[in-house]
Amino acid sequence: MRSKRRRVVLIAAWLLVPAALALAPTLARRDDIVNFAFITLLFIALAQSWNILGGYAGQVNLGHAAFFGAGALITRWLWIEGVNILLAMLVGAAVAVMFSLVIGVPAFRLRGAYFAIGTLVLAEILRITIGNLLPEISTLPTATIGRYRLADRYYLALSLAVVATLIVALLGSSRAGLGMRAIREDEDAAEASGVQALRLKLLALMLSTAIAGLAGGLFAYYHISYYPQHPFAPNWTFDALLITYIGGVGTLLGPILGAVFYTLLKEYLALHWVDFHLLMFGVLFMAIVLALPGGLVDLAERVRNRMGRQRTSAVTRSPGSAART
């Protein structure tokens, strides 16, 4: 009975929270609030994309920014040329996936730290190349700037965050998701038990880079001007990694909780500790990871279990329960 009630509550939350967030642009009278919500939703989608490959399949990708940047570059170019933004984002995601497959097969020959370093090197090569080929700032045409609406970007970010979370939820309960978790725990043992490790790792890579490419396209649609190499910067990789580990790597809710906490804390420290906010954030992150290896999801589970034990002990100690026994 309790599990059924909990399932109903979870389903209601998954339906009501996006519906409530959809009202934010109409209820919020300040663009900075909507902008904050947009950044949080973008981080949720980006962290969910990293979580598929790094959290579920156990492949620590330090070159995630390459696929985010590829999606941004292609989407921006097509959109400025007059292509519908949704179609442009889909094409950008497809290019990111194709690029990931080109590097995926040779990269997956590496394991552990070698795979992480190899992906980081590839991303840095691409960032430097784009910076040399496209050194000038990318600015939207004047007519496009005149039609700019933040609410349009917000609703697109909300849709992407919901879709990314649904994909991770379906993956987590699927046979492929179970195989990915087996690879994460012990790849050799998983292969010995019949799991096709390379096929599942490529599937995780494709899903991860597709969502990352869509997030990059959304970033390109959001900004009026920026340097083309900016979406390829390594901070996009490490933002996704930090958010996932803060929230809970390999979990569904981890990237969501991590994105909210990360954005709030980052904005607070940037406003109140301008000169030291990066140092303080790094120290806080290390403290969180050391104290809570399972992230905020693990903390919430501990609190829930403790409250349950307290309720149980209170019932057993009550006079009525003693009389019944």
The ranges assigned to domains in the chain are 31-276
Tell me the residue length of the chain: 325
Q: What is the mean pLDDT of residues 183-210?
A: 92
| Average pLDDT rounded to a whole number, residues 13-30 | 77
According to the model, what pLDDT value does residue 317 have? 65
Alpha-carbon distance 151 to 40, whole Å? Answer: 14
Dist CA 295 CA 275 (whole Å): 27
The mean predicted confidence, pLDDT, of the chain is 86
* Beta bridge partner(s), residue 226: 138
Helix H or strand E encompassing 138? strand 138-139
Can you tell me the mean pLDDT for 76-95?
96
Q: Which residues pair with 225 in a beta bridge?
A: 139
Percent over 90 (pLDDT), the chain? 54
Give yes or no for residue 165 having a pLDDT over 50. yes
Range from 21-25, 212-216, 285-289 that averages highest in pLDDT:
212-216
* Amino acid found at 129: T
pLDDT at 6: 59
Confidence of residue 23 (pLDDT cuts 50, 70, 90): confident
Q: State residue 233's pLDDT score.
A: 93
Phi, psi of 139 (to 5 degrees): -125, 140
If you average pLDDT over residues 138-149, what whole number do you get?
89
Q: Which residue has the higher pLDDT, 25 or 245?
A: 245
Is residue 40's pLDDT more than 90?
Answer: yes
Q: What single letter denotes the amino acid at residue 142?
A: T
Q: Which residue has the tokens 């990708």?
A: 61
Lowest mean pLDDT among 10-14, 206-210, 250-254: 10-14
What's the mean pLDDT in 138-166?
A: 92
Q: What's this model's pTM, rounded to 2 decimal places?
A: 0.89
For the cut 60, the answer to whether the pLDDT of residue 1 exceeds it is: no
- Give the DSSP letter string of 31-93: HHHHHHHHHHHHHHHHHHHHIIIIIIS----S-HHHHHHHHHHHHHHHHHTT--HHHHHHHHH
Q: How many CA atoms lie within 13 A of 234 on its CB side?
A: 13
Quote the pLDDT of residue 266: 82
51-56-59-61 Cα dihedral, nearest 10 degrees: -10
Q: What gap in Å lies between CA 63 and CA 232, rounded to an integer?
A: 9
Higher pLDDT, 13 or 65: 65
User: How many whole angstroms separate alpha carbon 202 and alpha carbon 252?
Assistant: 20
Query: What pLDDT is stored for residue 102 in this prediction?
Result: 87
pLDDT score for 149:
92
Query: Which carries the bigger pLDDT value, residue 151 or residue 9?
Result: 151
State yes or no: pLDDT of 105 exceeds 90: no
Q: In CATH, what is the architecture of 31-276? A: Orthogonal Bundle (1.10)
Q: Are 295 and 258 in contact (CB under 8 A)?
A: yes
Summarize pLDDT for 9-19 with one digit per residue, the tens.
556 666 777 77
Q: Count Cβ atoms below 10 Å from residue 301 Cβ, excluding itself.
A: 13
Cβ-based burial of 35 (10 A; exposed 0-12, middle 13-18, buried ≥19): middle
Q: Are strands 138-139 and 225-226 parallel, antiparallel or unpaired?
A: antiparallel
The 10s digit of each residue's pLDDT in 227-244 is: 999 999 999 999 999 999
**Residues β-bridged to residue 138:** 226
CA proximity to 222, closest of 52, 35, 48, 95: 35
Which pLDDT band, with edges at 50, 70 and 90, does 173 fall under?
A: confident
Q: Would you say residue 52 has pLDDT above 60?
A: yes
pLDDT band at 49 (very low <50, low <70, confident <90, very high): very high
pLDDT at 325: 46
**Burial code of 104-137, b = ≥16 C-beta within 10 A, e = fewer?**
beebbeeeeeebbebbbebbbebbeebeeeeeee
